[in-house]
């Protein structure tokens, strides 16, 4: 006998939970997005808002909520789309029943983001309608169609990204330089489309370099710029130390350009990564007008390197800018305040390690500021007693340091040796893979070649360091010669710029004498009177 089955019809909509006979209006919102800030896209953006406002209001059974928008935002992920995220939050809070948008690609070009969001909305009874594809997400075939369309949109984004990347890399290989002028201090787009110097901003760049060479740290430069009321590249009154470091290290300020310093790892996440050799980079010399002379730029790089190799962190806050050292322990001489709260208050300079656990090793005395200045003036005047001979010696030293032909020839030969040994190793490995060999003999040959390779690489690194050191010293001598020509023959008063630019370091001994080492390599010892 057949079972007696009675059908009890549904009384509620399984998505909205409203009675099926309900005549309540659906709360409808629209989403509009354009991915660039161009005038053409702005017209499209405005048109989308007007269109969907009218479109929703024309439906008698729909209640208009609002049009959510994102302008100049990519659709590859939802992380930075504020309008989109606000709309989803409102939908999950029950403020929206239906979301209308132009197409799947307007909603999201990332397949995963698109499906995850649609499913989350569906669980909360919120439907989406994609007008171009005529897809309702509550439709049985909606998710299948949506998956296909989202995948196509993602593939389109990947293709666009690859085309843009190819175009950029072609520009790099052609040596074409572009800058983010709104955030790049000192340059603006010229009439010919190439970088041109903005003289007002360039003065700030030159000031930053000058303050650094005079001994200030990036923190000290930041404070000086803010105190002078100078605006940052973004037009703000506050400066970032990171910005100052970037300005000091950026080769574009000497008129050159290193292209493809970083690259996009994934077109979906837009994650950027510094280029550490994964892709070719391109160095373009004299690609645009320089703000900082090349020798001054190189001096700054050498000074950055010198400060980074000091035993302790460099401090440019004191008068002597971390240039005074202890002969006993190598510690830095720093300023100390004695009797800070009474009338006998005074500042003295002594080794920072004097009262540490190794104090027995450090017997150098404290010195007053006036004593240090007096000894420096005597050393300077002795140095300048025969300026013409000193200049001749410096010119000869510059010529010797500038002649790096033998080192560069040796570097090229070593590079060739590295390539040859690398090829021998590859051939040996391939041969071992193709036919059986005595593994003891193979390992012996392999180890010998690897040892030879590592020795050549080590030699190459040392030669590179030697060439860089000679280059930096040559630039230092050039700077010293320029300072020497303009400096007074006799110095009777302390000059902080002369001290910063001409002195490499001073070493204080137990007998209170100071050995001053000038940037040309000459050392003068001044005894205490």
pLDDT at 400 over 50: yes
Lowest-pLDDT choice from 112-126, 238-252, 263-277, 454-468: 263-277
Strand partners, 334: 350
CATH second-level architecture of 324-526? Orthogonal Bundle (1.10)
- Supply the mean pLDDT for the chain: 79
Residue 74 Cα to chain centre, angstroms:
23
Residue 104 has pLDDT above 90, yes or no: no
Mean pLDDT of 423-436: 84
**Helix%, strand%, coil% for the chain, nearest 5:** 50, 15, 35
Report long-range pairs for 139-147 (Cβ below 8 Å, ≥24 apart): 143/115, 143/118, 146/104, 146/114, 146/115, 146/118, 147/111, 147/115
CA 428 to mean position of chain CA atoms? 42
CB count, 10 Å around CB of 406?
8
How crowded is the C-beta side of 494, counted as CA atoms within 13 Å? 12
Question: Are 428 and 446 in contact, with CB atoms under 8 Å apart?
Answer: yes
List, for residues 254-265, the tens digit of each pLDDT value. 888 777 665 565
pLDDT of residue 44: 66
pLDDT in tens, 20-34: 555 578 899 999 877
Q: For residue 514, with 0-12 CB atoms within 10 Å meaning exposed, 13-18 middle and 19 or more buried, which class applies?
A: buried
Question: Can you give the pLDDT at residue 219?
Answer: 87
DSSP per residue, 495-520: -HHHHHHHEEEEEE-TTS-EEEEETT
Looking at the DSSP assignment, which residues form a beta bridge with residue 69?
Answer: 32
CA 463 – CA 460 distance, rounded (Å): 5
Q: What proportion of the chain, given as a percentage, has pLDDT over 70?
A: 77
Residues in Cβ contact with 199 at an 8 Å cutoff, skipping those fewer than 6 apart: none
pLDDT at 511: 92
Number of alpha helices (DSSP H) and beta strands (DSSP E) in the chain: 14, 18
**Cα angle 72, 75, 80; round to 5:** 70
CB 121 within 8 A of CB 99: yes
pLDDT, position 523: 92
Task: Tell me what pLDDT residue 256 has.
Answer: 82
Cβ atoms 338, 345 nearer than 8 A = yes
If one compares 385 and 317, the residue with the highest pLDDT of the two is 385
Task: Output DSSP code: residue 368.
Answer: E
Amino acid 510: pLDDT: 92
Domain with CATH 1.10.287 in the chain: 324-526
Cα separation, 242 vs 224, whole angstroms: 15
Predicted local confidence at residue 138, as pLDDT? 81
CB 291 within 8 A of CB 206: yes
| pLDDT for res 206 | 92
Residues 323, 313: Cα–Cα separation, whole Å: 12
Q: Does domain 181-308 have CATH number 3.90.1750.20?
A: yes
d(CA 351, CA 330): 9
Q: What is the pLDDT of residues 194-219, one digit of tens each?
A: 888 889 899 999 999 988 877 788 88
Least confident among 188-192, 491-495, 496-500: 496-500
Mean pLDDT of 105-109: 68
Specify the pLDDT at position 220.
Answer: 86
Instruction: Outline which parts of the chain fall under CATH 3.90.1750.20.
Output: 181-308
pTM, two decimal places = 0.50
Q: Tell me, what's the pLDDT at 42?
A: 46
Neighbouring residues of 279: CB distance < 8 A, sequence distance ≥ 6: 169, 260, 263
Q: For residue range 282-315, list pLDDT tens digits in order.
A: 677 777 888 988 878 877 887 787 777 665 555 5
Region(s) of the chain under CATH 3.40.50.1390: 26-160
CB 261 within 8 A of CB 269: no
Instruction: Please say if the pLDDT value at position 37 is more than 50.
Output: no
Q: Is the pLDDT of residue 78 over 80?
A: no
Q: Contact 473/303 with Cβ under 8 angstroms?
A: no
Closest CA to 328 of 357, 355, 368, 360: 360
For residue 136 the two structure tokens come to: 């309702």
CATH number for the domain whose boundaries are 26-160: 3.40.50.1390
Polymer length in residues for the chain = 529
CA distance 395 to 478: 8
Q: Is the pLDDT of residue 267 over 50?
A: no
> For 171-270, where are the E strands, in sequence order?
187-189, 195-197, 257-259, 262-266
């Amino acid at each position: 006998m057949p079972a007696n089955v009675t059908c009890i019809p549904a009384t509620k909509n399984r998505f909205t939970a409203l009675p099926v006979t309900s005549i309540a209006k659906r709360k409808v919102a629209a989403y509009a997005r354009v991915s660039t800030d161009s005038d053409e896209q702005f017209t499209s953006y405005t048109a989308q808002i007007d269109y969907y406002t009218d479109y929703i209001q024309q439906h008698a059974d729909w209640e208009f909520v609002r049009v959510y928008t994102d302008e100049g935002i990519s659709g590859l992920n939802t992380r930075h789309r504020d309008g989109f995220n606000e709309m989803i939050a409102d939908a999950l809070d029950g403020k929206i029943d239906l979301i209308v948008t132009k197409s799947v690609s307007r909603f999201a070009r990332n397949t995963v983001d698109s499906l995850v969001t649609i499913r989350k909305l569906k669980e909360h009874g919120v439907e989406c309608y994609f007008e171009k594809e005529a897809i309702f997400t509550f439709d049985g075939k909606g998710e299948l169609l949506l998956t296909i369309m989202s995948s196509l949109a993602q593939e389109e984004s990947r293709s666009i990204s690859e085309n843009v990347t190819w175009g950029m890399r072609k520009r790099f290989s052609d040596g074409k330089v572009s800058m983010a002028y709104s955030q790049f201090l000192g340059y603006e787009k010229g009439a010919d489309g190439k970088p041109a110097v903005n003289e007002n901003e360039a003065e700030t760049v030159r000031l930053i370099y000058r303050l650094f060479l005079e001994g200030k740290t990036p923190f000290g430069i930041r404070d000086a710029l803010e105190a002078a009321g100078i605006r940052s590249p973004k037009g703000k009154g506050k400066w970032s130390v990171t910005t100052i470091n970037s300005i000091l290290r950026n080769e574009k300020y000497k008129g050159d350009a290193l292209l493809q310093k970083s690259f996009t790892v994934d077109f979906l996440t837009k994650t950027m990564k510094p280029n550490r050799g994964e892709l070719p980079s391109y160095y373009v010399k004299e690609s645009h007008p320089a703000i900082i002379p090349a020798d001054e730029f190189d001096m700054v790089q050498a000074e950055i390197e010198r400060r980074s190799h000091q035993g302790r962190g460099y401090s440019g806050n004191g008068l002597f800018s971390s240039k005074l050292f202890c002969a006993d322990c190598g510690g830095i001489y720093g300023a100390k305040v004695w009797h800070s709260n009474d009338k006998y208050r005074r500042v003295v300079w002594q080794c920072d390690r004097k009262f540490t656990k190794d104090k027995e090793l450090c017997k150098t005395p404290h010195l007053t500021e006036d004593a240090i200045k007096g000894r420096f003036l005597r050393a300077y005047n002795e140095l300048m007693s025969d300026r013409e001979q000193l200049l001749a010696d410096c010119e000869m030293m510059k010529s010797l340091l500038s002649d790096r032909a033998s080192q560069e020839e040796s570097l090229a030969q070593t590079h060739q040796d590295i390539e040859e040994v690398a090829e021998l190793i590859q051939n040996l490995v391939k041969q071992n893979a193709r036919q059986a060999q005595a593994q003891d003999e193979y390992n012996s040959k392999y180890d010998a070649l690897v040892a030879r390779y590592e020795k050549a690489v080590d030699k190459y690194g040392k030669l590179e360091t030697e060439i860089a050191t000679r280059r930096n010293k040559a630039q230092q001598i050039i700077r010293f010669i320029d300072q020497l020509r303009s400096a007074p023959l006799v110095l009777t008063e302390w000059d902080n710029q002369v001290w910063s630019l001409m002195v490499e370091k001073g070493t204080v001994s137990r007998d209170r004498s100071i050995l001053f080492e000038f940037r040309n390599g000459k050392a003068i010892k001044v005894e205490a009177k």
